[in-house]
Amino acid sequence: MPAPNKAFRQSVRRRARNRPVLTLSRTSLAAARAAIAAAPKEASTAGTVKAAIANLATTGRKRAIHRNNAARHISRLMKAANKAAK
């Protein structure tokens, strides 16, 4: 059984590794949602959504979040973008 101190050290390292990835992912997702709400048919909105999808995919690939969680967020974002563009 690992020592509690070792588990704590591991969790601190994991948190330090995952935190910037998660922050970027959350920020880009919020920016994409705001862009969809503000101007759904503009080219800049499409670029923002594309960047958010790339960041979410990277977050899932790096296992900062579960890959199905990343896929769910991407799917919902695309669904919202397509609905707003109509």
**32-42 in b/e burial notation, b at 16+ Cβ within 10 A?**
bbebbeeebee
CB atoms within 10 A of CB 62: 14
Sorted by sequence, the CB contacts under 8 Å of residue 27 that are 6+ apart come out as: none
4-85 maps to CATH 1.25.40.80: no
Side chain identity, residue 75: S
User: Hey, where are the domains in the chain?
Assistant: 4-85
pLDDT in tens, 31-85: 999 999 999 999 999 999 999 999 999 999 999 999 999 999 999 999 999 999 9
Q: Reply yes or no on whether the pLDDT at 2 is more than 80.
A: no
**So what's the pLDDT on residue 3?**
82
pLDDT in tens, 13-25: 999 999 999 999 9
**So what's the pLDDT on residue 1?**
66
